[in-house]
């Protein structure tokens, strides 16, 4: 099944649902190594995104993702709002005007998004951020032979990347202020990124 406008809408609705369901978990993770707002930030931003998606019809998958990007940037302060905003804006640009997106195009859109996140936040893999979950997941999509197996591999890679943030010392974002004390905690942004891939697989895989 290719990635369509409707499937992209379903993905974003599922992601919003997951951010509501896991708000407290993300708050707890961010309380340990940040300021405790990641869950409320993401829940507020995705609630706003759903309002915007309901308020007007989007022509294609790119327009859906750009609408989400605008909502996140305008409603979420802090690091993750603009970073996810950049991700969705870049992905949306790559998918503008498309009706049925195949695996190579979908993977290329993710690559654009990840490049945007890194251009904006300057994080490299190993810095204990969302980039640690996103990078291996995007690589899994790029290395796959079909969309369904690519999405399954991406979810697994994102989960492993998320878990691998636990022993790391943070080098970007608020958690980096803690230095050594950021060790032994899973990164909140890597965790929300895992949920983004999990919902992508649920919505976009056949
Ligand atoms: P804030 O840190 O401003 O309170 P959030 O709590 O919503 O914002 O988001 C924190 C998450 O943002 C971190 O767990 C990390 O994954 C991600 N993050 C922070 N800074 C960066 C960065 N420079 N590059 C990539 N991700 C980052
Ligand atoms: Mg925070």
DSSP symbols for 27-50: HHHHHHHS-S-HHHHHHHHHHHHH
Q: What is the pLDDT of residue 77?
A: 86
Q: How many domains does the chain have?
A: 1
Domain CATH for 97: 1.25.40.340
- CA of 30 from ligand 2 middle (Å) equals 6
Q: What pTM was estimated for this model as a whole?
A: 0.98
- CA of 189 from ligand 2 middle (Å) equals 9
| Each residue's pLDDT tens digit, 64-81 | 999 999 999 999 988 999
Give ligand 1 pocket residues (Cβ under 6 A): 30, 34-35, 37-38, 41, 78-80, 83, 117, 121-123, 129-131, 172-174, 187-190
Collect all residues with Cβ–Cβ distance below 8 Å to 79 and sequence separation of at least 6.
121, 173, 174, 189
What CA dihedral angle connects 123, 118, 51 and 78, to 10 degrees?
A: 40
| Each residue's pLDDT tens digit, 21-57 | 999 999 999 999 999 999 999 999 999 999 999 999 9
> What SS3 class is residue 134?
helix
State the residue range of the domain holding 141: 5-204
Q: Give the nearest ligand 1 atom to 30 CA.
A: 6
| Each residue's pLDDT tens digit, 113-141 | 999 999 999 999 999 999 999 999 999 99
């Amino acid at each position: 099944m290719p990635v369509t406008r409707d499937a992209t809408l379903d993905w974003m609705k599922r992601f919003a649902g997951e951010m509501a369901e896991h708000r407290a978990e993300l708050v707890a993770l961010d309380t340990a190594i940040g300021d405790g707002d990641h869950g409320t930030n993401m829940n507020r931003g995705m609630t706003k995104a759903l309002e915007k998606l309901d308020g007007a019809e989007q022509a294609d998958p790119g327009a859906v993702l750009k609408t989400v990007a605008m909502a996140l940037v305008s409603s979420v302060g802090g690091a993750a709002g603009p970073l996810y905003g950049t991700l969705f804006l870049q992905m949306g640009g790559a998918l503008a005007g498309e009706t049925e997106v195949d695996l190579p195009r979908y993977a290329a859109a993710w690559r654009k998004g990840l490049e945007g996140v890194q251009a904006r936040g300057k994080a490299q893999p190993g810095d204990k951020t969302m980039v640690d979950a996103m990078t291996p997941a995007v690589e899994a999509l790029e290395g796959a032979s079909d969309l369904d197996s690519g999405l399954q591999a991406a979810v697994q890679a994102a989960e492993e990347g998320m878990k691998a943030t636990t022993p790391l010392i943070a080098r970007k974002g608020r958690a980096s202020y803690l230095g050594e004390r950021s060790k032994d905690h899973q990164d909140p942004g890597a965790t929300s990124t895992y949920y983004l891939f999990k919902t992508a697989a649920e919505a976009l895989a056949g």
